[in-house]
Structure 1
Amino acid sequence: MKLFIVFTVVCWGLVLSQHGRKCYDGYKLYEVTPKTEDQAKCLETCRNDPSYDFWRQPEELDTSAIVMVAPDTQDLFENLLANNNIGHKVIIDNIESKIQEEYAQQNISSRADRGVVTFTEYMRFDEINEYLETLERNYPNIVKIEELGESYEGRDLLAVRISSGGSDKPIIFIDGGIHGREWIAPATALYIINQLVENPENDDLYEEVDWVIIPCLNPDGYEYSHTHCYGVDANKNFDVDWGESDNNTDPCNQMYQGPSPFSEKETQALRDYLLANKRQIELYISLHSHGPSILYPGVSSGSVPKNNEELYSLAECFKNEMNTKYTVGPGANVLYSTSGQSDNYAMNVANIELAYTILLPGDGNNGFDPSTANILSIVQETWEGVKIFEEHIVER
């Protein structure tokens, strides 16, 4: 079943504790382009304000931010932009109207072909799990489902292991959907699974390595929009430099780090798996949107890690397989300083030497999630880059 733009609007990947449908009548979507350092700093002051929902951050000067602004804050926002000579335009005048258009276009009945993957729609969480279970039944010699635990609302957190058998092989570990509104991430994880399992041309890719893939790490955030503000940005909830960069203690803020490290069942489940299998996991990848960027951890000061040369070189190899132009580098240098992230935890606590966050391409006004017409081209392109990682681990 297709998801709607309402989820894009309200699900900042939060671990949700409330359900509901919020009305976005009068909310506007702005494209804002800072051209000077002072303008960029001015825009940065809005980032932690819950009145502003940043769908895209500017990666550098002369690149655009996409910001949703509530009606009662729009005059203040526009005055701020005007007073600082920051160029902007309104790209959606009324978010609610856009939501209603999509409701009218979508068929909200369940798909009949349960257990079958699709890349022309965004699959719902139960459909994703049914597909994984179908693969395990149909390919028992290479596919095994591993249960990592449950989400806050009791949904099963499932990983699929793809292996030719044997023990002590290196693992490539991939997760998607830690931010619930980034639907293209689970879709990409599913395409990787699909190509490894159902395309015989790729049999050699799991001969010397095992793949462990979690398509949707935050099913509650993926499934539901909400009207109440309680929730945690799961990718700021890991116990590595927790709270140092953002230090956001407001539960109504889209970047809320949680009351303590690993306060959420989802991040606990990922932590436990990484630590239990850290001797075999040689590569960790977390799929996100939207970039396009391929990032790796720095350290607290923003300097590069000790194996920066290998991390950068491998990321460049991935980039060279893309038709889309990707940005490469440490996350703190390419985007902004962050804390409590999964890739940083994987590298600096679980001692997994190669760890990346891949920000998949966005799609104009659709923000974090490309239109359904563009899903297939993005996941196919990404798959070509992912194969490079397997080559590197085998050579390593």
Structure 2
Amino acid sequence: MSQISFFLSSFVKKLISSFEKIIESQFLNFILFQELNFNTFQIHMWFSYLVAFLLTWQVFCHAINNPSSEEKQADYSGYSLHRFKVDTSSNTMEKLESYDMELDKNTQTARLLIDIWAEPSKQNPHADILVAPEFLEKFKALLTREELVTLKMIEGDVQSQINAERHAMFRNSIRRRKRSLKSWKDFDVNSYHSYDKMVEFMKLLSEQKSDMVELIKVATSSEGRSIYGVKIHPPGGSPPEKPSIIVDAGVHAREWIAPAVGLFMIRKIVDEYGRDPQVTANLQKFDWYIMPQVNPDGYEYSRTSDRLWRKTRSKNTTVNRWCIGADANRNWGYRWGEAGANRTPCSNIYMGSHPYSEPEIRGLKEYFTWQIANPMVYISLHSYGQLLLSPWGYTHERTENYQDQQNAAKEAAMAIKNTTGVSYSYGTISEMMYPASGTSIDFMQHRGVPYIYGVELRPTDNPNSFAFNLPPSFIRATGDEMMAALNAIGTHAVKVKRL
């Protein structure tokens, strides 16, 4: 939503608040038609606010549907999402990926033609691909040449989903009229929030539960936002050598369910400690470091300008200066620039100009290396596909502790199944999805962390076509799944490592 839309939204909230104050004390009498205590001034005020509200609403709706050219939102009208079966041994996906962007050097713009949303794997040999309307016929012809058959069109117009989500968020924002939180318990973890609201919650939590929660700053983004997380420990603190569980989320901007689940987990641990035996036991064995949004620039851009934005928002100095950002999960230094990365700045999987070119990743690396003494478990939350992905990503070779990692993943998948009935598959990144180098998963494996998983959250193949637009009604169940998975992995680590 553009800046003018946010301004008008705020104005509408103020009008509603003032309107409520005028009628609150008189509402019951008005309904019952008994003592009407409105004087002439109050009646004039009432109608003035009502007229102002209606006019503002009209302008607001116009602003949503007709943003100015300077603030125009990305429009995906006519873009369709397709699912089809692919032989994972073929190079079909590489061919499709080569068509991802159309560059116009005269206007200095990049037009998305193809966007791979879900890669095929041996366990699930289906690909999900977003296709621009002008590229659809060429896309179908390419599938025919590759002797592939489209299984189904999941969504005929992705913009309609984006519009529905945007309007639902606005309605929710009108209902949540509080300007600031008074208690950490007031924060609604079952909604999608701005980054500022996330930070407000974490700061308030660290102040009001200071015996358990510490606010930590892990990095500063390209646009100058401080990237915060929390350290959670039992009341009274922990010894410095205590093992830890690390969770980060929001690496890819459009994957909104990931930071929402990170926030849900923070609330769940603090709320349930001392009441839930598993949560209590795990917090006594592990300190938790949770960073719910590590790409705040990209996330805010996905909220205001381009719902499907994936990368960071850093400037680049190549010939294609108008291509912004890098894939934050291709920018880590270990095996940077090898399989599954792209050197083209406009690509959605652009690896950056050099290792740790992105300040967000540079800051995370420094914090993980120097501030966390004994990491035992590392989880990076993404979406979508319902997968638990272990190292390696850059190669098909298996890690030395491959079997132990798979055993823990199996227990996590069983815990999820027992919690919500949903199935998660597990395996290495390169086995389950595609080769990917420069990832945090491989960095952590190289560092020697025993249990490491990139988690692809909901949804997966189901009758609904939510993909990245998963409604907030799914946050609670997805959060419960991740708490069950982390508790299971923690319990496994305690048993195997004899903690």
Q: TM-score, normalised by structure 1?
A: 0.88
Match of 2:106 in 1: none
Aligned amino acid, residue 209 of structure 2 = Y
Q: How does 1:149-160 map to 2 (within 5 A)?
A: 149-160=219-230
CA deviation vs aligned residue, 1:207-227 (integer Å, no higher than 9, x gap) = 232111100111111111357
Indicate the SS of the match to 1:107: helix
Match of 2:488 in 1: 388
Match of 2:96 in 1: 46
Q: Cα offset for 1:242?
A: 0.7
CA deviation vs aligned residue, 1:206-259 (integer Å, no higher than 9, x gap) = 223211110011111111135763110000000111111134111111111000
Match of 1:312 in 2: 406
Match of 2:452 in 1: 355
Match of 1:255 in 2: 349
Q: How does 1:314-353 map to 2 (within 5 A)?
A: 314-323=408-417, 324-348=422-446, 350-353=447-450
Indicate the SS of the match to 2:187: coil
The equivalent position to 1:31 in structure 2, one of 83, 86, 92, is: 83
Q: How does 1:138-153 map to 2 (within 5 A)?
A: 138-153=208-223
- Identify unmatched segments of 5+ residues in structure 2: 2-69, 101-112, 307-321
Task: Work out which of the two has the higher radius of gyration on C-alpha atoms and give 1 or 2.
Answer: 2
Aligned amino acid, residue 127 of structure 2 = A
Asked whether the 8 Å contact 2:161–2:469 carries over to 1, the reply is no
The equivalent position to 1:112 in structure 2, one of 177, 201, 204, is: 177
Indicate the SS of the match to 1:141: coil
Q: Structure 2 vs 1, CA of residues 143 and 119 (structure 1 numbering), >3 Å: closer, same or farther?
A: closer
Aligned amino acid, residue 129 of structure 1 = V
Q: Cα offset for 1:62?
A: 6.2
CA deviation vs aligned residue, 1:117-159 (integer Å, no higher than 9, x gap) = 3243212211111111121121110100011121111111111
Which segment drifts farther, 58-67 or 292-301?
Answer: 58-67
Match of 1:166 in 2: 238
Aligned amino acid, residue 120 of structure 2 = P
Match of 1:131 in 2: 201
CA deviation vs aligned residue, 1:250-296 (integer Å, no higher than 9, x gap) = 11111110000000010001100111145411111111111211111
Asked whether the 8 Å contact 1:289–1:369 carries over to 2, the reply is no
Match of 2:166 in 1: 103
Q: How does 1:69-80 map to 2 (within 5 A)?
A: 69-80=131-142
Match of 2:143 in 1: 81
Q: Structure 2 vs 1, CA of residues 19 and 154 (structure 1 numbering), >3 Å: closer, same or farther?
A: farther
- Identify unmatched segments of 5+ residues in structure 1: 2-17
Give the Cα–Cα distance (whole angstroms) in 2 for the partners of residues 332 and 176 of structure 1.
21
Q: Structure 2 vs 1, CA of residues 210 and 106 (structure 1 numbering), >3 Å: closer, same or farther?
A: closer
Q: Structure 2 vs 1, CA of residues 355 and 98 (structure 1 numbering), >3 Å: closer, same or farther?
A: closer
Asked whether the 8 Å contact 2:165–2:469 carries over to 1, the reply is no
Asked whether the 8 Å contact 1:302–1:332 carries over to 2, the reply is yes
Q: Is 2:368 the counterpart of 1:274?
A: yes
Give the Cα–Cα distance (whole angstroms) in 1 for the partners of residues 249 and 365 of structure 2.
15
Match of 1:371 in 2: 471
Indicate the SS of the match to 1:261: coil
Match of 2:292 in 1: 215
Q: Cα offset for 1:308?
A: 1.0
Aligned amino acid, residue 280 of structure 1 = N
Indicate the SS of the match to 1:233: coil
Indicate the SS of the match to 2:333: coil
Give the Cα–Cα distance (whole angstroms) in 1 for the partners of residues 165 and 254 of structure 2.
16
The equivalent position to 2:339 in structure 1, one of 245, 249, 252, is: 245
Indicate the SS of the match to 1:193: helix
Q: TM-score, normalised by structure 2?
A: 0.71
Give the Cα–Cα distance (whole angstroms) in 2 for the partners of residues 290 and 140 of structure 1.
34
Which segment drifts farther, 356-365 or 164-173?
Answer: 356-365
Aligned Cα root-mean-square deviation (Å)? 2.3
Which protein, 1 or 2, shows the higher relative CO under an 8 Å CA cutoff with sep ≥ 6? 1
Aligned amino acid, residue 220 of structure 1 = D
Q: Structure 2 vs 1, CA of residues 100 and 354 (structure 1 numbering), >3 Å: closer, same or farther?
A: closer
Asked whether the 8 Å contact 2:341–2:349 carries over to 1, the reply is no
Asked whether the 8 Å contact 2:88–2:121 carries over to 1, the reply is no
Give the Cα–Cα distance (whole angstroms) in 2 for the partners of residues 224 and 20 of structure 1.
12
How many residues align? The count is 377
